[in-house]
DNA sequence: GCATTAAAGATAGATATCTAATATTAGATG
DNA sequence: CATCTAATATTAGATATCTATCTTTAATGC
């Protein structure tokens, strides 16, 4: 019997035959999980959570968005955005305030501290990206992005169709695994 | 100004410029989210949760695995597997018991009910897969799987390297979004 | 301009995941 | 063969997300 390769020693590698129905879904989930873990690994050294990263990233590009706008952009619910933003205000990354005398909307504005994080965190994301892309040609990366975009659109349409048929759209509870 | 396409009306579509550092990561996460939602949408009509699906799928291929083996296969922790399996036993999908007089290991065995679910649930997964693949050639799908596999391996290596440097590997807390 | 409806946010409670600590059993070693 | 160590499962507690509900404020229609 031949010796196992390095990769095979890892207990994650599937001894298990994968359901044909789920092969692509599984790969996509595992890749997402990989990106998340790789990024969280780096963010934790700066004491920033993944959720905070998501909102920071959005604010660096569009400072002063309302909570509702932020939750939309982040694909997270308002309560989730709410608690994350409260925490980020406590941490001094943002300031929440009203604009134009509208007391309904709560807008989030980056503080000096919040802006400063950008210089620290963006390189970490770049690092993850570079690590992930190793061995993939520019064309391969391009094709990959295109194919992913097609799948995303297909699945969004599926969801819209379901919603149109009156199906309640379920939670996106946390399950990056598998 | 030209009219917006159907797709653009959706509020999810990004008015927001995406961080170059995060473009691929974001696409992968959104695709994973799409798969999860599309599947959950269908599973909920059968009162099966995503977590239960994961374990059922594994057991249909390897009945009688221990809790430890199941959590490995599912890429979930043991407490997570534990509670899921307890619940699945309550629901009558599996039976948990010892084997060979070994009182340490708890093995999970599908009941008739658990096996029967297969005929109902697998078509749903196939449906999701087909929906996701619309418009992608066989070759494109092949390339996509290859590229995803490369990324997964790259990111696993990244994690192993980090672990070797003594970095604590962080949770894979639920954040499929964005 | 007052009353109704809609929008935005806040709060409370549920769920699925995680980490850490504990208990039990099996296997290895002096 | 008695003890130590490792494996497995369990329990307890934290966290990030979700849904549902409530409150406040703005917009709209008579």
pLDDT tens, residue by residue, B145-166: 999 999 999 999 887 777 666 6
Q: In whole angstroms, how far apart are CA B141 and each of A20, A144, A158, B133, B146?
A: 13, 10, 19, 8, 9
- B153 to chain A, any CB pair closer than 8 A? The answer is yes
For residue A17, say whether its CB is under 7 Å from any atom of strand D.
no
Q: What is the DSSP letter of B66?
A: B
Ranges of each domain in chain B:
21-135
Confidence category of residue A1, pLDDT binned at 50, 70, 90 = very low
Largest CA distance in chain A: 75
**Mean pLDDT taken over chain A:** 86
Q: In whole angstroms, how far apart are CA A84 and each of A46, B11, B21, B117, B174?
A: 17, 21, 22, 39, 14
Q: For every residue of A66-126, which 3-state class applies, written as one string?
A: EHHHHHHHHCCCHHHHHHHHHHHHHCCCEEEEEECCEEEEEEEEECHHHHHHHHHHHHHHH
What is the CA A139 to C1' D16 distance in angstroms?
A: 37
Q: What is the pLDDT of residue A52?
A: 96
- A120 to chain B, any CB pair closer than 8 A? The answer is no
Q: pLDDT (tens digit, 9 = 90+) per residue, B88-132?
A: 999 999 999 999 999 999 999 999 999 999 999 999 999 999 999
Q: What is the pLDDT of residue B175?
A: 47
Alpha-carbon gap, residue B162 to B56, rounded angstroms:
33
- Per-residue b/e over A102-127, b at no fewer than 16 CB within 10 Å? eeeebbbebeeebeebeeebbebbee
**Residue B20 or residue A91, greater confidence:** A91
Query: Number of CB pairs < 8 Å for A and B?
Result: 286
Give the three-class secondary structure for A26.
Answer: helix
Across B20-24, B62-66, B71-75, least confident range: B20-24
Q: Is the pLDDT score of B15 beyond 80?
A: no
Task: Say whether domain A37-133 belongs to CATH 3.40.50.1000.
Answer: no
Q: Which of B51, B132, B144 sits opposite A144 (nearest CB)?
A: B144
Tell which CATH architecture fits domain B21-135: Orthogonal Bundle (1.10)
**Mean pLDDT taken over chain B:** 86
Average pLDDT over residues B16-27: 83
Confidence category of residue B19, pLDDT binned at 50, 70, 90 = confident
Confidence category of residue A162, pLDDT binned at 50, 70, 90 = confident
Q: What is the ipTM of this complex?
A: 0.87
- Protein residues bordering strand C (Cβ below 7 A): A 66-68, 78-79, 82-83, 85, 96, 104-107, 173-175, 177; B 49-51, 54, 75-80, 83-84, 101-104, 169-174
Beta bridge partners of A96: A108
What residues of chain A, 122 to 151, have a C-beta less than 8 Å from chain B?
Answer: 122, 125-126, 128-129, 131-136, 140-141, 143-145, 147-151
């Amino acid at each position: 019997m031949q010796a196992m390769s390095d990769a095979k020693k890892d207990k994650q590698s599937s001894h298990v035959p994968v359901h044909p129905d789920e092969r692509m879904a599984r790969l996509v989930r595992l890749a997402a999980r990989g990106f998340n873990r790789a990024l969280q690994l780096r963010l934790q050294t700066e004491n920033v959570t993944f959720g905070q990263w998501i909102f920071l990233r959005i604010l660096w590009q569009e400072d002063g968005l309302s909570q509702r706008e932020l939750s939309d952009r982040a694909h997270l619910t308002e309560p989730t955005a709410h608690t994350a933003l409260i925490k980020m205000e406590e941490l001094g990354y943002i300031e929440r305030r009203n604009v134009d005398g509208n007391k309904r909307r709560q807008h989030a504005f980056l503080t000096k501290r919040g802006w400063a994080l950008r210089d620290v965190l963006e390189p970490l994301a770049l690092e993850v990206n570079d690590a992930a892309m190793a061995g993939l040609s520019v064309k391969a990366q391009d094709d990959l992005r295109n194919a992913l975009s097609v799948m995303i659109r297909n699945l969004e349409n599926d969801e819209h169709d379901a919603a149109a048929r009156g199906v309640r759209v379920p939670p996106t509870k946390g399950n990056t695994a598998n």
